[in-house]
Amino acid sequence: MSDFTGDNLVLFPKTLDYYQIQLTRMLETERYGEAKGLLDFLLKCGGEAERHHTEWQALLGWLEAAFPEATATGLPGEEADGAEEEEEDAESVLRQRVLDRAAEDPAYLQRLISILFDDEDPEQQLLALGQMTHLPGPEAEAALRRWLSERERHPLVQFRALQLLRRFGAEGTAVVLRDGEALALEIEETPLSFEDFPQAVLEVPERLSRMAEVSDPALSYFADEMWRECVQAAYGSNVFKWMMEADDGASDLWAAALHQHLQEKLHGQTGDESTREQYGITGELRFRYEQALRWLRAYGADTV
């Protein structure tokens, strides 16, 4: 991943939001090495990301000066030695900090809930959810249910709230507003990690990776990130039900549509004949592929 440059990697707005959220969380949990690695990566990105380069460069300079001993880890998606242990240590530190604050201040949970409802910044909402993770109970569960059903929110934060309800042991359905529709979702079925999604969903980036391995290996990495975002944004909707279909050709048509969409976004390639030929998109698959591609294009346009 280290050979990515601003010339060939452009972040979608919601993917950019996701990385901003992750960066804030890394700083909150004092994972400065990971933050340095993520900033290095973001500074190589073009498009919308370029507007934030000055801010990110200043933050990276501060981290280098304040925490020189913190070594930058690999780029997002790469495995680094000890990364899992570092994540666990950071989570343990955060948990103890939250518990200490809650013990000192009986209204601490309510303040986190207020941030969730009143702050429109998804980064701040995600930080509040991260701290609420360590304060389970009826008050937190009721607040999450109310927040999800009150109005539409950032889909990545909505999904994290659903995951938190499941971790709390909540049962039954949660009403989530998504794209003008009220979705009644079973909390116990919420995936806690990407690997928990149906096999048909997991096969899409794997299929694309095999196809792009030689011709455009960088596309494979970005496809994985984009697909995870799309799956979370669509979770529970009719589109998601279509994504997880296990019938023959479903993973091919979504992989082809994702491949073509990224070719258009990253390289300006509009013709899709070669993509359809590469994935064997013919007959009935052609119509369904075009539907999937239209959804991906509309989703990308809505995030601008």
Place of tokens 């995030």: 303
pLDDT of 146-165, one tens digit each? 999 999 988 888 999 999 99
State the pLDDT confidence band at 303, using cuts at 50, 70 and 90: very low
Q: Between residues 85 and 276, which one has the greater pLDDT?
A: 276
Q: Which of 263, 254, 246 is nearest to 212 (CA)?
A: 263
Per the DSSP assignment, residues forming a β-bridge with 177 are 182
What pLDDT, on the 0 to 100 scale, is given for residue 40? 86
- Helix or strand or coil: residue 80? coil
Give the least confident one: 66-70, 153-157, 274-278.
66-70
Q: Residue 291 pLDDT more than 60?
A: yes
Average pLDDT over residues 115-121: 90
pTM of the entire predicted model: 0.67
- What is the C-alpha separation between 176 and 184, in angstroms, rounded? 6
What pLDDT, on the 0 to 100 scale, is given for residue 35? 86
State the pLDDT confidence band at 258, using cuts at 50, 70 and 90: very high
Per the DSSP assignment, residues forming a β-bridge with 11 are 47
What pLDDT, on the 0 to 100 scale, is given for residue 47? 67
Amino acid identity of 122?
Answer: P
The answer for 26, left when phi > 0, alpha when psi is -120 to 50, beta otherwise, is alpha
- Helix or strand or coil: residue 229? helix
Average pLDDT over residues 294-301: 81
What pLDDT, on the 0 to 100 scale, is given for residue 37? 86
Cβ contact 126:157 at 8 Å: yes
Alpha-helical regions (H) of the chain: 13-28, 32-42, 53-66, 83-104, 108-118, 122-132, 138-150, 155-167, 199-215, 217-234, 238-243, 250-267, 273-279, 284-302
